Amino acid sequence: MVRAANRAAEIGATALQIFCDNPTSWRRRETLPPELQPFRDRLAHHQIASLVIHAPYLVNLAGPDPSLYERSVGLLANELTVAAAYGATMVNVHIGSHRGEGTDAGISRLTAGLQQVFDLAGHDADGVVLVLENSSGSGFGLGSTVAELAAIDAALSKAGLPQDRTGFCLDTAHLWGAGYQISSEAGVNDLMDEFSAAVGIERLRLVHLNDSRSELGSRADRHEHLGAGHIGAAGLGRMLTHPALHAVTYVLETPGMEEGWDAVNLNRAREMAAGRPLAALPPEAFETRRAKSGAPPELGDAANGN
């Protein structure tokens, strides 16, 4: 954890997204890790003010399986309370899958589940915003369209969940997989107009800035280095400079984070935001994933399984 904080500072990041425990396991630590205080000290020292905890991929509040639902409630409540202890600003969770039961049934379960999560977490989770991440639409994933995100938000509001405890995350690779033409400035402007009108821009708290190796509307979700995928620099650059997005936190979930490619991608984000052309990436940028085949799915890829 301390190394993550130092590495974020080394590359000039001002936001950090982490898993607080194993992202593919239901098991959670019983106690807070001993390196927590040094970690928080490093974040404060480096002025990394936005800390996001990514919830495990297993969480699905929208599906019909009662035992999976119960475990998801418990796990997510745990993530929220741990997040508060970490000083995190947000917990990010995939909205989940209705598993074929239909959008309305999925949204009702999700809403009831979130009520239980906040009841269970209580004041221990004060100050942490739970952000719901859009889906690429595979596997009955809920929240792949702005209309569905708006329906979810309306359901949360009707259920009396306080607006300051929940929000949304837009993952650009998921938007692309879901069919949003965000490869141009005009496409991003249209999306932001639609989101502002249907949901409200103040509900958007987080952007997962990723390029995509998947085709537009393919419902697939394979992340790529910024400007090296099908979305490209014009659209991703606009995601960084659109005036409606001035207050959101941006997080990269691009490939090869463990091999130093996060530094490269963060620089590319800065170049795109400044409207400068991007350099071509060397072949090694695309080799890390081939070498790693058989390893656990990279962040984002697992969204499909929910």
Could you tell me the smallest distance in angstroms from the CB atom of residue 22 to Zn ion? Answer: 18
- Comparison of 1 and 93: residue with beta carbon closer to Zn ion: 93
Count interface residues toward Zn ion (CB under 5 A).
4
- Comparison of 40 and 170: residue with beta carbon closer to Zn ion: 170
- Comparison of 116 and 254: residue with beta carbon closer to Zn ion: 254
Among the residue ranges 103-111, 224-232, 248-256, 287-295, the one whose residues contact Zn ion (CB under 5 A): 248-256
Residues 152-191, mask of contacts with Zn ion (x by CB under 5 A): -------------------x--------------------
Residue count of the chain: 306
- Comparison of 21 and 133: residue with beta carbon closer to Zn ion: 133
Among the residue ranges 107-115, 123-131, 202-210, 237-245, the one whose residues contact Zn ion (CB under 5 A): 202-210
Residues 261-300, mask of contacts with Zn ion (x by CB under 5 A): ---------------------------------------x
Q: Is 208 in the site for Zn ion (CB under 5 A)?
A: yes
| Residues within window 249-268 making contact with Zn ion, judged by CB under 5 A | 253
Could you tell me the smallest distance in angstroms from the CB atom of residue 208 to Zn ion? Answer: 3
- Where b means 16+ CB within 10 Å and e means fewer, 123-146 reads eebeebbbbbbbbbbbbbbbbbbb
Residue 176: closest CA among 240, 219, 133: 219
Could you tell me the smallest distance in angstroms from the CB atom of residue 257 to Zn ion? Answer: 13
Adjacent-strand bridge partners of 92: 54, 131
Could you tell me the smallest distance in angstroms from the CB atom of residue 138 to Zn ion? Answer: 14
Could you tell me the smallest distance in angstroms from the CB atom of residue 9 to Zn ion? Answer: 23
Among the residue ranges 28-36, 80-88, 196-204, 208-216, the one whose residues contact Zn ion (CB under 5 A): 208-216
Could you tell me the smallest distance in angstroms from the CB atom of residue 171 to Zn ion? Answer: 4
The residues that touch Zn ion, with contacts defined as CB under 5 A, are: 171, 208, 253, 300
